Amino acid sequence: MGQRLNRCLDVPVALPPLRRRLLLLFIMLFLWLYMFYSCAGSCAGTRGSPAPPRAAPPLPQLPAPGEAGEESSLEEQRAAPDAASPISSFFNGSGTKRLPQAIIIGVKKGGTRALLEFLRVHPDVRAVGAEPHFFDRNYERGLAWYRDLMPRTLEGQITMEKTPSYFVTKEAPARISSMSKGTKLIVVVRDPVTRAISDYTQTLSKKPDIPTFESLTFKNRTTGLIDTSWSAIQIGIYAKHLENWLLYFPIGQILFVSGERLISDPAGELGRVQDFLGLKRIITDKHFYFNKTKGFPCLKKAEGSSKPHCLGKTKGRTHPDIDQEVVQRLRDFYRPFNMKFYQMTGQDFGWD
């Protein structure tokens, strides 16, 4: 074995036997250390705190189209690797999988992916790339399954996930509270009319044969009665959904991020989020640039990459033209709910 190594590594045979043996010892030690660290990322669950048993396959199901927030595109997953990537596993191999201390609970089409991707730039934030949908669709799989999805974190790092459908899931507040009363909650909200059109645009991209936005908006177009059972409309009644969360969480434990300001001033909104999470303000305007082609702010460098990164094609779609009368009718419909929401949150989002 020693001779074979000698040949492979081209060790000069003229080396005195003792030095040759020392060199071989050093090489073997190096190989052993390399194997140890490579294994740490995937085997660390067997060390330190006991790993939860795997009762079910670890990957969450993809959300049904038009039903809930969509998964991040593969493009986004590649640009911002989670702890499962070999590089981050290497550095985080000694970390522990923890349940999230902070969750982006909504709203669908509010800008939740942008917020999570921007937050992941922070060295003290580790997040799951895909949407786990634990508190709505996968709750029966148990907390051990949920924790197993999480990236490994070191002391002081925050574990996060985002699943926008939680905000409108009746059972979610009680379930999150029973996991931990102290969970910090973040809601990215956006003008409910634009949000509804964005939601419809997403469904349309998957099912081009659906009826028009205008016809789905009304129960009866002649009477002008809005169909509040249509999820695209329902999700935007923020005040109603928030009431459900306030039964379990104090308002101070929920941060409301403006989806509009996340586009016009990402660093400003990220500053508020970092303060809320108790993080040092590391993400600043230096991290962003406005990409004219995309029409959105993008990252100068994504997490784990040195290249500029914009969100994928499914973020920032062109919306279809909607009849302005219908838009106005929807504005009138949402106004009282928006006012109530401003009152509850103490923030005027300027949608009216």
Ligand X SMILES: Nc1ncnc2c1ncn2[C@@H]1O[C@H](COP(=O)(O)OS(=O)(=O)O)[C@@H](OP(=O)(O)O)[C@H]1O
Residues that bind ligand X (CB under 6 A): 69-70, 108-114, 164, 198, 201, 262-263, 296-297, 311, 315-317
Q: Which amino acid is at 211?
A: P
Kindly tell me which of 96 and 112 has the beta carbon lying closer to ligand X: 112
Smallest separation (angstroms) from ligand X to the CB of 134: 16
- Report whether 111 belongs to an annotated binding site: yes
User: Cα–Cα distance between 172 and 188 in angstroms, integer?
Assistant: 17
| Calpha distance 82→4 (Å, rounded) | 40
DSSP 8-state class, residue 303: T
Report in angstroms how near the CB of residue 326 gets to ligand X at its nearest: 17
Residue 312 is labelled as binding a ligand: no
Given 97, 108, 109, 162, the catalytic residue: 109
Q: Binding site annotation covers 95?
A: no
Cα angle 219-225-228, degrees, rounded to a multiple of 5: 65
User: Cα 12 to chain center, whole Å?
Assistant: 54
- The annotation status of 97 as a binding-site residue, yes or no, is no
Closer residue to ligand X in complex, CB, 21/294:
294
Check the annotation: does 315 bind a ligand. yes
**273 closest CA partner among 159, 186, 181, 349:** 186
Would you say 4 or 307 has its CB closer to ligand X?
A: 307
- Judge whether 181 counts as a catalytic residue: no
State the Cα–Cα distance between residues 58 and 80, nearest whole angstrom: 20
The smaller minimum CB distance to ligand X, of residues 98 and 272, is found at 272
Are the beta carbons of 251 and 345 closer than 8 angstroms?
A: yes
Closest-CA residue to 81 (of 135, 48, 121, 47): 121
- Least distance from ligand X to the Cβ atom of residue 107, Å: 7
Strand partners of residue 289: 298
Q: Residue 84 Cβ, how far from ligand X at the closest point, in Å?
A: 20
d(CA 343, CA 339): 6
List, as residue ranges, the binding site for 3'-phosphoadenylyl sulfate. Answer: 109-113, 190, 198, 315-319
Which residues are designated catalytic? Answer: 109
List, as residue ranges, the binding site. Answer: 109-113, 190, 198, 315-319
